[in-house]
Amino acid sequence: MATPVSATSGSTTAATPVQAKDDSNATVQAKAKAQLNVSIVQASLTVSLNSSNEPLSVLLKTALTGINEALKGDFGDNAIQNAVSQDNTPEGTASRIVSLSTAFYEAFQQQHPGEQGDAVLNKFMDTLKKGVDQGFKEARGVLDGLKVLNGDVASNIDKTYALVQKGYADFAAAHQAQPAAEA
């Protein structure tokens, strides 16, 4: 089914049909990736280029999407919900990424009953870090495409990433198995 789209060239307006793509044979992963791309484009359209903190909301969304994808096999779709309207400073963004993603640790342990102690903790942390790395990479790509990945935006992303890594290190240290006290 064709949908007309108006395109303006100079002073001339022409209707150009856009063909809907038949995705009935697409894999679930391909459909999810397409939906992610749509949501990133929609989010990028709302980014205010005049505000240095708004692009971090895109970072949060893509980081959490990456974590959702990494946790999908264990917890299903949308393991973590995006909270774009909250504090989008590096500290606020990192805090949400860490707290929302680490909140799944107990459930992750239950999903891996044969593994104990540090083994399950390490697997959980590797899963989270993989998702965060993917999300940060995708966010950088979006923001670079918008030509806003410079100055404060780039340094805020770096600061957010460092705070997330520190938060994960603190979480792992707090949950590592303690050796039994020697008598």
In this structure, what CATH number is given to the domain that contains residue 145?
Answer: 1.10.132
83 or 165: which leads in pLDDT: 165
- 2-6, 117-121, 161-165: which range is least confident on average? 2-6
Q: Is residue 27 part of a domain?
A: no
Residues 6+ apart with CB under 8 A from 176: 117, 118, 121
81 or 126: which leads in pLDDT: 126
Share of the chain above pLDDT 90, in %: 32
Q: Is residue 19 part of a domain?
A: no
Q: What's the mean pLDDT when you consider all of the chain?
A: 73
Domain residue limits at 79: 52-175
> What's the pLDDT tens digit per position in 94-111?
999 999 999 999 999 999
Check residue 150 and give its pLDDT.
87
Q: Is residue 25 part of a domain?
A: no
d(CA 80, CA 47): 22
What is Dmax (Cα atoms) for the chain? 87
For residue 130, pLDDT over 90 is answered with yes
For residue 155, pLDDT over 70 is answered with yes
Tokens (6 digits) for 6: 């108006």
Q: Is residue 157 part of a domain?
A: yes
Q: How many domains is the chain built from? A: 1
Q: What value does the mean pLDDT take over residues 72-79?
A: 64
Check residue 24 and give its pLDDT.
54
Asked if 84 contacts 57 with a C-beta cutoff of 8 angstroms, the reply is: yes
For residue 165, pLDDT over 80 is answered with yes
> What's the pLDDT tens digit per position in 9-25?
343 444 444 444 455 55
Check residue 61 and give its pLDDT.
73
Q: What value does the mean pLDDT take over residues 83-95?
A: 75
> What's the pLDDT tens digit per position in 47-67?
444 445 567 777 777 777 777
Number of Cβ atoms within 10 Å of the Cβ of 55 = 26
Q: Is residue 138 part of a domain?
A: yes
- 1-15, 19-33, 86-100, 168-182: which range is least confident on average? 1-15
- The DSSP output letter for 26 is S
DSSP per-residue codes, 49-102: TT-SSTHHHHHHHHHHHHHHHHHHHHH-S-SS---TTS--SHHHHHHHHHHHHH
- The DSSP output letter for 176 is S
User: Predicted confidence band at 127 (pLDDT cuts at 50, 70, 90)?
Assistant: very high
Residue 24's φ and ψ, nearest 5 degrees, are -65, -25
Flag whether the pTM goes above 0.85. no
Check residue 18 and give its pLDDT.
40
H or E element in which residue 133 lies: helix 117-145
